[in-house]
Every structure is written in structure tokens, then in C-alpha cells.
Amino acid sequence: MATVPIPTVRRDPVTPSPGDSLVGPPTPAPTSDLARRVTRLLLLRTLVVTVVLALSLWLLMTGDEHPRGAVWLQSGLIATTYLTSIVFGLLIRRGYAPRKLTRPMQASDLVITSLLVYVTAGAQSPYTFLYALSIVSAGALSYRRGAVVVTVASLLAMTMISLLAWTDVLDLPMSAQAHPWDQGKLDFVRTLGINYAALIGVGALSFIFGDQLQRGAETLATTRQAVADLYTLHQDIVRSLASGLITISPDGTVLTANSAAGAILRRPATEMISEKIEVLMPGLDAASPIERADLTIKAGAQDLTIGVTVSALRDVRDQIIGRVVNFQDLTELRRLEQANRRSERLVTVGQLAAGIAHEIRNPLASISGSIELLKQAPQASEDDRTLMTIVHREITRLNVLIGDLLDYANPRPRQPVDIDLGILIDETLQVARGDQAFADVEVTSEVTKPLPIHADPAKLRQVLWNLLRNAADAAATGGKHVTVTGRSDAAGAVVTIADDGPGIERDHIARIFDPFFTTKYHGTGLGLATCHAIVAEHSGRIDVESVVGKGTKMVVRLPRT
């Protein structure tokens, strides 16, 4: 048998297919297809040879003479057919390459056919049609090349066997009715010519049949490769998306999820399969399309703001078979937008505050001086002096407030130097522990030193003091503990001031850095606004983490330079 040619798809090596990285070289004729064809031909071969040889044995046994040698020979041919079929079948079942079995199969078919033709009168044998079956099977397995090779081999084998039988050269047992040597030369040539014509005709048809099969296999190979490339390109596109992509069934079960979805939701994408979308994204109504919506979800220990789009998933018949959920992590973007809006508000309020403060400070100075003079007047009664003391105290408080406004609206220029933030934290804590405001609060610290940064120490001291005072005020109504930690990271330094107070309401967190917003009875609402402005001036940021009933963390991140 001829080896099965594996058709290939020619492609320009300079322009690889999008799927080459995963699919690899095209294999137009998969081994499974060839294995099925070989198995079917083995079954057909066994059936045909069994029927033919059994009929031949029956004719021998029912004849007047019973040549024992011919009976044994044909019985041996049947046994050989069965044995080779079993061997080839077992090899295929064990994963042996089918294309490596086609040549031994065709060779064994030619040998068995030639022996049968020899013992049944050579060129006059009624079993020469078995050569034609071998040619057809070769065309089915090996296409054009197999048809040509087996046709030529069959013609040569039949010529040799016919000559050997006609000349009676081989001493092999023949059936009682077979006497090929009695045939005349002219009859022999005519019989041989008829067989030639029949085999050549079958070979031509098998060649055409094999050509069509090969073209079909090449077309199928090209189609399979195109489908594989499209599938791999689809996978590459989905895998390369920066946004999360999840497909769900009509009942909300997750069908697929790309790696970006797993990264955003902080869990492996493979674990999302078969889960309900309501579990992954609580609050999302995926039953109807959503053009654009922001959704806040919990991913691990972090609150995420994601922008979600839900669209219908349709098949080739335009039938809705589910939903496509496309989303992005907007947490940082929303934080920057909020910081930008806050900065705009701070600028507006600062300009207004600066103007008002300048207009108020001068009259306050005049009022304060006048009150002092009236208080020293001899005709002033004790009650008058008490009232003037109250007025002077309130004027002083207003003056402090105006000072805060001016510091916030028109801060002094930054004067950065190289400092160790760890030492600055320790000095601020030492002052705080001696302040009466921290008398009922236990302050602990865990600061890694050195924490080198390039910043204005006076301004950072103001930030630390304001945050410590706020933490102490909150802790005084809670567990009375304030914890300060300082550490370095890849960008610079991170300072965390945590308290175990009542925490901050979720609605208030977005406003705590706004000027004049405060939850304290005696607060001005400018402390945190000033801290935010100073940290922003140093290209840093303040993040707030608060749980109602458990406490608050103020996290200050400052760059190294």
C-alpha cells in the first residue's frame, strides 16, 4: 500500500496567521478521519475476502475431486486475512499512525489476491476483480498517488501470476477445475488484455475518485485552519481586552469570563464559570440591557467602582441566548474625579475666604482695641467688664478662624528639604503625648526609620498634628486608642493614623475634605481641607478607610521627591 499523502495548505511564511501561536501548522487530514476510513476498509476487506474464499472453499468441497493442497491453501488465505485484519485493527486501537499502516495493508491485499488468482486458473480466475477492489481502496485511502501505485502494482502482480500459472512453473496446489496451461497463447493474451483493460479502467476511475477526495480534503483542511485561526483570533482578542468581559445565560449563570474580569474582581476567571452574576456583582440587574451604569461592589477587602454595560448575546439566527457584561474598574478614575471636584471647590472657597478674611480682620482689630479701652475705663461696672471679656474672647476665636482661613486660602510657599519622616513623626507624637487633648487616649506607634523624603517639615508637621487631633477626638468617644504607623514603599512613604472611634458615615466620607464641613461641635471644618491641600501640594494623597462602629484610618502617601 502507498503511504497516505498529507495535503498541506501553502501560506506565506512571512505573514503568519493570527492563530499560528496556538494552533501551529495546519493538518488538513486529521488522524481520526483517516483512522475511521482505515477501520471501515478493514471491515469491508474482511467481509469480502471471507465471502469470496468461503465460496471458493465450498466449490472445492462440493466438486468431484477434492485437492487437499488447494483446500489447505485457501483455508490459510482466510486465516491470514483474519490475522492481518486483527493485527491492523489492534495497531490502530493502540494509537499507531494509520498512514503507516496503509502500505502494509495494500501489500497484504495484493499478496492474498495474487495467491487466490494463481490457484484459481491465473488469468482466467474469476477473482481478478479483487485487484480492482484493492485499487479502489487505495484511492480512498491514498488519493491519486495511491490509485496510480496500486494500479501499476496490480497489473504487474496479475501479469506475473498469470504467466506463472500458464507456464506451470510454481509447484503450488490448484483447484481441480484450474488448468491454465491448457489455454492457447492467443487466448491467454486476449484474457490478459481484458483483465488489463478492466484494471486500467478501474484505476482511472479510482484516480478521479482519489483526486476529488484529495481536493475535498485540502478544502476541508483550509476551512479547518481558517476556523482554527478565527477561533484563536477570537481568544486572543478576548484575552487581550483591558476591560472585563463576561457572558451569561438567560438565567444569569456565567458561561465565560476573560482574564481581565478575574483581575478586576480579584479572583481567578475559571472560578467564575457556572456562578450566578448576582454573586459576582451584587446589585446588577443583568436581565435587561444597560447602556452604562456605575456599580459599587466588594472585591476582597476593597470597595470597587466599576462601569458596567450589559448587551444582548445573539446567535447566528439573531436569537437572544444570553447577555454580555462588559465592565471596567473605575475606582481610581472616580477618585481622581472626586479629588478634582474637591480641588475646584477648594479653590473657589479659598478665594472667597481670603477676601472675606481680609475684610473682617481689620474691623475685628478695631473692635478688640475698643473693647480693651472700654474695659479699662473707670466708669465701667463689673457686669460691663464681664460682658466685654466675653466679647474679647469671641473676637479672639474669630481671629483664629480667620487665621485658619488665610492659611488655607493663601498658604506660605513650600520650602522642601531632605528630612527623615520617621523622626518627624516621633517628634510630633512626643508633643501630642504631653498635650491635654491626648490625656484620655493611648497613642502607640510603629514607625520604620529612616523614611527619607524631600518635603516641607513645617507643613507636614501641621498635617500630622491635625490628623492626630482628629483621631484623638474620635477615639475619646470609642476605645481610646490611636495607632500611628510609618513605612516605606516603592514610591515613597506611607503614614497611617488609625483610631477605634465611632467611624465616619459613608455619606460623609466624600465630604470630609470640603472646607467648613465638620461633624465636631467646635470644629471649623478647615483642618482636613488644609491637610488635603498640603499633601496635594507635595504630590501625595490622603485616603480614608472607615467602618461605622469600628474606627477610621487616614492613610497619607507621600512621594520620595
Q: CATH code at 374?
A: 1.10.287
Contact 119, 172 (CB under 8 A): yes
Residue 220, SS3?
helix
Contact 133, 205 (CB under 8 A): no
Pick from 96, 102, 100, 60: which is nearest to 77 by CA? 60
At 555 the pLDDT is 92
At 68 the pLDDT is 61
| Paired strand residues for 18 | none
Q: Are residues 223 and 247 in the same domain?
A: no
- The three cell numbers of residue 557 are 502617601
4 found inside a domain: no
Spell out the per-residue pLDDT of the chain, length 561, in tens: 333 333 333 333 333 333 333 333 334 444 457 777 777 777 877 787 777 777 766 766 665 555 566 666 767 777 777 788 788 878 878 877 777 878 888 888 888 888 878 877 778 877 788 888 888 888 888 888 888 998 999 899 888 888 888 887 766 655 545 677 777 888 888 888 888 898 899 889 988 888 888 888 788 888 888 888 888 888 888 888 888 999 999 888 999 898 888 888 888 888 888 888 888 888 887 777 777 888 888 776 678 888 899 998 888 888 889 999 999 888 888 888 877 777 676 667 666 766 676 667 667 777 777 777 777 777 777 777 788 888 877 777 777 777 766 666 656 677 888 988 889 988 888 888 877 778 788 888 888 888 899 988 888 888 888 898 888 888 888 888 899 999 988 888 999 999 988 888 887 887 788 777 777 756 667 778 888 888 888 888 888 888 888 889 999 999 987
Contact 28, 218 (CB under 8 A): yes
Q: What is the pTM of this model?
A: 0.45
Give Cα separations from 281 to 110, 369, 523 (angstroms). Answer: 69, 65, 39
Type of residue at 88? F
Query: What is the C-alpha to C-alpha distance for residues 216 and 219, in angstroms, rounded to an integer?
Result: 5
Q: CATH code at 276?
A: 3.30.450.20
Query: What is the C-alpha to C-alpha distance for residues 399 and 328, in angstroms, rounded to an integer?
Result: 49
The last residue of one of the domains, among 310, 329, 348, is: 329
Domain count, the chain: 4
At 21 the pLDDT is 31
Give Cα separations from 528 to 346, 461, 543 (angstroms). Answer: 12, 13, 12
Type of residue at 361? R
Q: Are residues 403 and 473 in the same domain?
A: no
Query: What is the C-alpha to C-alpha distance for residues 392 and 249, in angstroms, rounded to an integer?
Result: 73
At 116 the pLDDT is 78
Q: Are residues 343 and 483 in the same domain?
A: no
Q: Note down the domain range covering 350.
A: 335-409
Contact 106, 138 (CB under 8 A): yes
Pick from 9, 26, 22: which is nearest to 237 by CA? 22
DSSP letter for 5, please.
Answer: P
Give Cα separations from 149 to 4, 115, 156, 242, 401 (angstroms). Answer: 11, 20, 11, 57, 106
The last residue of one of the domains, among 329, 347, 381, is: 329
12 found inside a domain: no
Q: Which residue in this structure is represented by grid cell 490625656?
A: 439
The last residue of one of the domains, among 390, 409, 428, is: 409
113 found inside a domain: yes
470 found inside a domain: yes
Q: What is the CA radius of gyration of the chain?
A: 48
Query: What is the C-alpha to C-alpha distance for residues 414 and 292, in angstroms, rounded to an integer?
Result: 43
Residue 549, SS3?
coil
426 found inside a domain: yes
Query: What is the C-alpha to C-alpha distance for residues 216 and 325, in angstroms, rounded to an integer?
Result: 41
Q: Are residues 24 and 148 in the same domain?
A: yes
